Structure 1
Amino acid sequence: MEPSADVRIALVGDDSSGKTSIVMSLLEDEWVDSVPQRLDRVLIPADVTPENVTTSIMDCSSSNNTGDESLTAELKQSNVVCIVYSVNDDHSIENVSEKWLPLLRDIYGADHEIPVILVGNKSDGSTNHTEKILPVMEKWPEVETCVECSAKTMKNISEIFYYAQKAVVHPTRPLYEAEEKRLTDKARKALIRVFKICDRDNDGYLNDSELNEFQKLCFGLPLTGAAIEDVKNAVSDACPDGLVDDAISLPGFLYLHLLFIERGRLDTVWTVLRKFGYGQTLKLNEEYMYPKLKIPVGCSTELSPEGIQFVCSLFEKFDEDKDGCLSPSELANLFSVCPSAAFGKEMLSSVETNQRGWITFVGYMAYWNMITLVNVTLAMEHLAYLGFAVSRAERGSKQVTIKDAIRVTRERKKDLSERGTDRKVFQCLVVGAKDAGKTVFMQSLVGRGLAEVAAIGRRHSPYVINRVKVKEDIKYLLLREVDVLSPQDSLSNAETSADVVAFLYDISNPDSFSFCATIYQKYFYRTKTPCVMIATKVEREEVEQSWEVSPEEFCRQHELRRPIKFYNSQIGQSNASVFEQLATMAVFPHLKRVFHFHEFNIHNVAVVSGIVLLAGKMSEAEAEVNHAENTENGTSPSENGNEDEVKEAETDKDKDVQAEEGKPMSKNQIRKARNREKYLERRKEKRVVEKERKKAKRKAMREEGNTEALKKPKVHRMVDSSCKIRVCVDMAFDDLMSDKERRSCVQQLSFAYSANRRADAPLQFYVVNFRDESRKFYDSFTTNQDIFLDTRDLNEAFTDEQIIYLSSESDNVLTELDESKVYVIGGLVDYNRHKGLCHSRAVQKGWKHARLPIDEFVQMKTRKVLTVNHVFEILLQYTVDQDWERAFFHVIPKRKGPERKALEGEKKDEEDEDKTDKAEGAEEETTEGTETVKQEDEGDC
């Protein structure tokens, strides 16, 4: 670690003490007779200073007013102060302790750490005047040293600034208490850490090899055999317990550095301390402990191979009895160099321990993987104090930082696209109502049973981690309990970004599952995070859950796996299959829907196939019996052929009916299920082929220069839209539609969404009551996001005063759109089976209703019923032109034969024209009739 970047020296003292003369003599390297009253700041480059640091010298004001603001400002900018006094002026010497040293304490504080150099100027002769200043040095601990000089004779001029630089770069005060003649507590603590890190075999002594490694690490050169003996002799002569069995003990190591300080070799001690990360205040530097680590969104942190190797070596070093566990004393010894204890009772509950509560090697490695994932800052701090950087630096010349112990994983988005990951640690969120059994479930991962969980008590860590095998690979599964007291509580982004979520519910508590279902729908519905429901306390009597559907039906609707049962026999079993299943889902999140399909479809196909096979064999046996009976009765099988055909037809019909009622599927349904399975297998290949086809098409268009066609249509977001008109589709009629009608309705929603996205000013698009089967269809083929989807009822999403329900049966005509209202379209496709549902729903609920002004502008050749997307697009088009007629003719399909309807003025003109035409026609007919009669009369005559 490098020393301070620069040295800022402030020179203060009485008038005529010679401050300016000292600086001028330093700059000119000779006595200058005429000097200015005060010099500006002087800057000395680093390459001309002994300590190779940039040095600035401030000739501060000599004002007698110690409250001078400019003087205070100059002193606050400095990091060392030189108090200049005249050795032949007693008043000047008195002012050192009476004026200047108290002033520094007023500015910096009573316990300040700014070093002070006393400079006795005008010492032109050979007489030494230090006896007058010694009492001052003893009384004021901030005084580093005293130098007598002469600006006239150039005596000790350069030494003043050398000591000032040294006081900043290698300060004495943080290391040494002059009155007690001993190391400061901070220095002692820092050197003890250095000693423990260098004690590779953990025997409490530094042998010749360890001492030599220490020398090479800090100073770059090994010690000769003679030099090692000299060091040992120096320690043994002054410190009786400093040398034990020809190895240096901790007291001897501390004495050695005390000896360096007393002999003025402060630079040696500081070199050692800075190599181990310490700064001027004897604390580990921030940049040493926390190097900049870029962690993009979607990435996580794990130990690198170097980090794993280092923490493993620590376990081996401190496992003194080699029993594969760390006893409390061994664990305390390992982390003794850290400022705070890493392991308490609470933290030990997170990992695997033996029967005596001692952490095992597996638990120890799990702990490191856990803190690296959830608190990488703490992990880096531990690694810094434990000496990762210096231990790795010994093995090569490469500059090593704590960052080398950490590995930033690839983005989860990329893992999903490539369907693979190299991550080792995965986080599982554990959610559940109170008393759902979360603690017992989590502690089972580390092998703790009910009695051990009870002994832990309520104060336990929210994390539990252990190793889990996934397809022969070792992964770490970290369970994190979420402290949610009610479904209304919020989850943080960190909590919702887990790799897998486990929802625990008590089957004997009717309200337990609703807690899980609410949290799931609020945070994890339509996300790519794998989720699983886990039923606990399954040995108790199961009660009906208060949620609108059963847990299994809920999982089927939301394409989740069937609820996993966690039995009492699995409590305390770290190898329980549920943990492997959770880890597998976390490692392979792209198989989220495959898990669901496998359980809800493939399993059924296999079962039904078995039933059909069994039924076939039973039919064969029954046919043989019938054949024998017919032979005995003298009846041939052909005579009963028609009856068999009828029975077979009735059987097939019954199977179809049974399938509709949820009973075993028909052959046709089994065939469809198998085809579905094959389709899923082929879909990936088709997508690759389609991707390549589109790629080739784009390439051909580029070669033809058709760049306009390559541009994607511009889309607009609702939040940026200038239009705040709200349009809502009410999906409250889901149960009145068949699957085919639901799919059609959802497709119409998709068309409306596309039109809205292409519009320059999109409407605010809402869908309420969106759940059940229609929601399932929607999620299966669309990923539209810029739309407000809500499972709540219409009157829960909006107030009654805001709602205007659109219905063709309404007597109210919609003439304009109001931003304070919500215009509701009934989400219903029923091929006109149900009449007036939207109107009756609005009337029943007391909501306002209205119809589009179609009759006022359009003459329809067919019925006026429009699809959901047509109504939506008419409203969207109206917001563009404020013209209903144009909106209708822009949207209504031509197949419906829309014709323009004449307005009132135009109708009168048309009626007048019709009357005139009719009158003229009648007159012509009368004339022609008369002429004919005459001709006839003439003919008769």
Structure 2
Amino acid sequence: MMSGFGLGDSNGSTKPVRIVVVGEKETRKTSLIMAAVTDHYYPEPNIPPLLPYTKLPSEYCSEDVPVTLIDTSSRPEDKRDVIREVKEADAIVLTFAIDRQETLDRLSEYWLPLFRQLEVRVPIVVACYSVIKNEHNPVNIEEITLPIRQQCQEIEICIEWSAPWLSDISWLAQAVFVQAQISAMYPIGPLYDQVTNSLKPRCVAALKRIFELYARNNDYILSDDGLSDMNVRSFGIPLMPSRSRELIKSVQELCPLGVKGNGLTIDGFLVLITNLIKDRKLRTLWTILRTLGYNNDLRLVHEMIPYSSFKRMPDQSVELTDEAIGSLKRAYHRFDNLGPQMMESLFETAPESPWNGAPYMDATEKTSNGGLSLEAFLSLWSLMTLLDPARSLEYFICICHPDDPSSAVHVTRRRELDRKEQISVRKVVQCFVFGPKNAGKSALLNGFIGRPYDDDNRDGLGEERYAVNMVGNSGVTGGTKKTLVMKEIQYQEDGFLLSDEALASCDVAVFVYDSSDESSWKRAIDMVSEVATISEDAGFVFPCLMVAAKMDLGSFPMAIQESTRATQDIGIEAPIPISSKLGNFDNLFHKILTAAEHPHLCIPKIESKRKGSSS
């Protein structure tokens, strides 16, 4: 059997398909199912109120994939059952009656908003019914359903299943469910915007990655050999040279700039794929995408991510390897200046930029043109690897195309072993920043990443925030820079709501207080006691430092004597004086790294206070 680029069949999923039929009362939901499975049309009196789960006959099932048809009730009291079925659907058939305008209106007024509310994003086939087809005054189904198709990208196709003769209704009903099954297995929705007639951004990103995989060794021109290699991997057979030339010629006729020499440029490749979609050869395209590791959301499947490479205990962390950092540097240097537009280009083979939202968007300072320096770029990648190694590896695979993705990360030694050995060689250090409201935590994080001081103090407000930067280090790693992650911890009415897992991820904690305010100092020292107690109870202790912020305002009376005595009593160093306003941080960030390198030191000696304990 000939295969590939629309020439034949391909293997799809064997997962059973659930098709749920929904719609208003008297839109022939049950009749549609019965007509499809029995080859007969039943008059209304002979139709039961609700069918049990019904199997579509195997002769109508594409690729022998089992299909279950699920009827639903239109009664308001059965809404909960309908919602349950819709949530479990692989495809939805949405019905309306062509001679009842209100049933069409309900699609946009009720059903489509309901699907959005339920976050149901499966292919939808709209089935329009009329008892007798009017040949003298035909209704244009595409025209009357255009508004709802523009409203809902999940609608794959609208089908009318009426006919001049009732004997034809059965095969039309079967066509509805065959189309629904094909749409579930090979959906057009994630690939193509049928309103603008253009590929969707995430589809373009996946195709650009695939193009690079087969064209990067040929100056980014997809040659006959590249097309053939892609066909072999996707369909198991090479592409005949004559077929390859035919494809390239068809692209050249539509897009002269899409062909260079004897191969396709990226624009030409996108034209080729667009033609596959327009010809409804979705099975071919989905086979290529799935072979190259994509799921229906056009994200890499779990099997592509080497989860075993970052399996870890709570007090271990995940870091990029030197090999991965080298690959990322090469990716960065492909662009002269990583401004906002270049950032989009860097991630053009990934689903989207991974850093457009929290916690990454505000974690580094941008350059004057809104871009990222190399250090900021690598810092953000280290932060993503620390917080979400699966996401980090997914994007690394998309932009760096590694032969062995598992070589991109490694898991650090457990911190309890670091304490036993009295040394830590982690290259990425996470520091939790505690402190009372208005102590200067946010100003500290801003100063850490080089942002100017802002008198508009928003300290202690909002969600937890990260700041990340590279810091020169002269400790055990021999002068190489380390990545320091500062995490501002928000204090809640019930205290610090930190799970054991969160505590385990902390390498160092700093407690910031306003040195001009005695109450701020007292609250900070209480926080040291509170955090040290819960961390000891959880079994994850860590070095702690105190930071006397706002030194430009002067200290409260007896501040130095009181703070020195209190820190000596609990076995940690005296507070480190800083002024974020003056940009004076007294080597604080180096001291944090030094504390992290010696995880057995600066641990507060505070007796645990367990409520209800007895001697």
**Shorter-chain TM-score: which interval?**
0.5 to 0.7
Shift of 1:466: 1.9
User: Contact conserved, 1:366 with 1:467, CA < 8 A, in 2?
Assistant: no
Using the alignment, how far apart are the partners of 2:497 and 2:438 within structure 1? Answer: 22
Deviation (angstroms), 1:115: 0.4
Q: 1:167 aligns with which of 139, 164, 183?
A: 183
Residue in 1 that maps onto 2:120: none
Letter in structure 2 aligned against 1:517? I
1:114 alignment partner, one of 104, 118, 124: 124
Find out whether 1:545 has 2:558 as its counterpart. yes
TM-aligned CA deviation for residue 235 of structure 1: 1.3
Structure 1 pair 352–309 and aligned structure 2 pair: CA distance change class (3 A) = farther
Per the alignment, do residues 544 and 315 of structure 1 end up closer, same or farther by CA in structure 2, a change over 3 Å counting? same
1:585 alignment partner in structure 2: 595
After superposition, the Cα gap between the structure-2 partners of 1:333 and 1:434, relative to the gap in structure 1 and judged at 3 Å, is: same
User: So what's the TM-score if we normalise by structure 1?
Assistant: 0.46
Residues 369 and 591 of structure 1: CA distance in aligned 2, closer, same or farther (over 3 Å): same
What is the CA-CA distance between 1:55 and the residue it aligns to? 0.8
Q: Deviations over 1:574-610 (max 9, x none)?
A: xx754333223223322447xx9xxxxxxxxxxxxxx
Change in 2 beyond 3 A, CA 1:511/1:133: same
Q: Conserved in 1, the CA contact under 8 Å of 2:441 and 2:512?
A: yes
CA contact under 8 A between 2:331 and 2:400: conserved in structure 1?
no
2:448–2:467 Cα contact (<8 Å) kept: no
What is the CA-CA distance between 1:321 and the residue it aligns to? Answer: 4.7
Does residue 333 of structure 2 align to residue 319 of structure 1?
A: yes
1:502 and 2:517 correspond? no
Aligned partner (choices 255, 258, 262) of residue 278 of structure 2: 262
Q: What SS class does the counterpart of residue 343 from structure 2 fall into?
A: helix
Distance in structure 1 (CA, Å) of the matches to 2:101 and 2:458: 58
Secondary structure of 1:326's aligned partner = coil
1:490 equivalent in structure 2: 495
Residue 247 to residue 96, structure 1, CA distance change in 2 (3 Å)? farther
CA drift at 1:154 = 9.5
| Equivalent residues of 1:116, 1:145 under 8 A apart | yes
Task: Give me the whole-angstrom Cα distance separating, in 2, the residues matched to 1:110 and 1:583.
Answer: 52
2:222 to 207, 215, 224: 207
Match of 1:838 in 2: none
* TM-aligned CA distance change 1:329 to 1:145, over 3 Å: same
Residue of 459, 470, 477 corresponding to 1:472: 477
Contact 1:117 1:144 in 2 (8 A): yes
Q: Could you tell me which residue of structure 2 aligns to residue 519 of structure 1?
A: 527
| Higher mean displacement: 42-51 or 8-17 | 8-17
1:2-17 equivalent positions in 2, closer than 5 A:
5-8=16-19, 10=21
Closer, same or farther: CA 244–554 of 1 in aligned 2, 3 Å: same
State the alpha-carbon separation in 1 of the partners of residues 584 and 497 from structure 2.
Answer: 30
Aligned positions of 1:344-359 closer than 5 A: 350-351=363-364, 358-359=371-372
Counterpart for residue 376 of structure 2: 363
Q: Taking structure 1 as reference, are residues 534 and 244 closer, same or farther at Cα in structure 2, changes over 3 Å only?
A: same
Could you tell me how far apart the structure 2 residues matched to 1:504 and 1:59 are?
62
Compared CA separation, residues 420 and 111, structure 1 to 2 (3 A)? same
SS, match of residue 470 in structure 2: strand
Distance 1:567 1:259 in 2: 62
Q: How many angstroms apart in 1 are the aligned matches of 2:458 and 2:351?
A: 24
Residue by residue over 1:882-907, the C-alpha shift from the partner in whole angstroms, topping out at 9 and shown as x without a partner, is xxxxxxxxxxxxxxxxxxxxxxxxxx
**Equivalent residue pairs, number:** 552
Residue 233 (1) aligns with residue 242 (2)? no
Q: Using the alignment, how far apart are the partners of 1:82 and 1:440 within structure 2?
A: 55
Structure 1 CA distance for aligned equivalents of residues 383 and 189 of structure 2: 40
Between 1 and 2, higher relative CO (CA 8 Å, sep ≥ 6) is seen in: 2
Deviates further, 252-261 or 282-291: 282-291
Structure 2 contact 320–382 (Cα < 8 Å) conserved? no
**Once the two structures are aligned, what percentage of the paired residues are identical?**
20
Deviations 1:731-754 (A, max 9, x none): xxxxxxxxxxxxxxxxxxxxxxxx
Aligned counterparts of 2:365 and 2:27: Cα–Cα separation in 1: 66
Question: Deviation of residue 243 (structure 1)?
Answer: 3.3
Query: CA offset at residue 428 of structure 1?
Result: 2.0
Residue 279 to residue 67, structure 1, CA distance change in 2 (3 Å): farther
Structure 2 counterpart SS, 1:255: helix
Structure 1 69/289 Cα, relative in aligned 2: closer, same or farther at 3 Å? farther
2:438 and 2:69 map into 1 onto residues whose CA distance is: 70
> Which residue in 2 is equivalent to 1:428?
431
Q: Is the 8 A contact 2:318 2:412 kept in 1?
A: yes
CA distance in 1, matches of 2:370, 2:18: 53
Inter-CA distance 74–786: structure 2 relative to 1 (3 Å threshold): closer
Aligned residue number for residue 453 of structure 1: 452
Question: Residue type matched to 1:8 in 2?
Answer: I
Q: 1:42 to 1:349 in 2, by over 3 A?
A: closer
8 Å Cα contact 1:511-1:546 kept in structure 2: no
Distance 1:320 1:541, change over 3 A: same
Asked whether the 8 Å contact 1:505–1:535 carries over to 2, the reply is: yes
> Is the alpha carbon distance of 1:10 and 1:463 closer, same or farther for their aligned partners in structure 2, counting shifts above 3 Å?
closer
Map residues 64-103 of structure 1 onto 2, 5 A cutoff: 79-81=91-93
- Work out which of the residue numbers 181, 188, 193 in structure 1 matches 2:205: 193
- Letter in structure 2 aligned against 1:207: L
Please state which structure has a larger fraction of its residues in helix.
Answer: 1
Indicate conservation of the 8 Å contact 1:299/1:412, yes or no.
yes
Quick one: structure 1 residues 579 and 273, their matched pair in 2 at CA, closer, same or farther if it must change by over 3 Å?
A: same
Give unmatched runs, 5+ long, in structure 1: 85-93, 123-127, 597-775, 790-871, 874-941
- Is the Cα–Cα contact under 8 Å of residues 303 and 406 in structure 1 kept in the other structure? yes
Alignment of 1:22-421 (within 5 A): 23-25=37-39, 41-43=53-55, 49-57=61-69, 79-81=91-93, 108-109=111-112, 114-116=124-126, 135-141=140-146, 143-145=157-159, 161-172=177-188, 183=197, 187-198=199-210, 200=212, 207-208=222-223, 219=235, 223=239, 225-243=241-259, 248-249=264-265, 251-272=267-288, 298-299=314-315, 301-303=317-319, 305=321, 313-321=327-335, 326-335=338-347, 342=355, 350-351=363-364, 358-373=371-386, 375-376=387-388, 380-381=390-391, 384=394, 386=395, 388=397, 395=403, 412-413=415-416, 415-416=418-419
TM-superposed CA distance for 1:317, in Å, is 2.9
- Give the equivalent residue in structure 1 for 2:570: 558
Could you tell me which runs of 5 or more consecutive residues in structure 2 were left unpaired when the two chains were aligned: 1-11, 116-122, 147-154, 460-464
CA contact (8 A) 2:324 2:409 kept: no
Instruction: Tell me the CA shift for residue 471 of structure 1.
Output: 0.5
Q: For the structure 1 residues 218 and 101, does the alpha-carbon distance in structure 2 shift closer, same or farther, using more than 3 Å as the test?
A: farther
Q: Give a deviation string over 1:216-256, Cα, whole Å, max 9, x none.
A: 66556664554443222111212344335665455534432
Superposed displacement of residue 267, structure 1 = 1.6
Q: Aligned residue for 1:640?
A: none
Q: Give the distance between the partners of 2:512 and 2:29, measured in 1 at CA.
A: 81
1:510-565 CA deviation, whole Å, 9 max, x = no partner? 66644543332343369533223345687998774258x53332232222234456
Cα distance in 1 for residues equivalent to 2:443 and 2:576:
16
Cα deviation for residue 330 of structure 1 reads: 1.9
Q: Distance in 1 between matches of 2:113 and 2:576?
A: 67
CA RMSD of aligned residues (A): 5.9
C-alpha distance in structure 1 between counterparts of 2:281 and 2:136, whole Å: 25
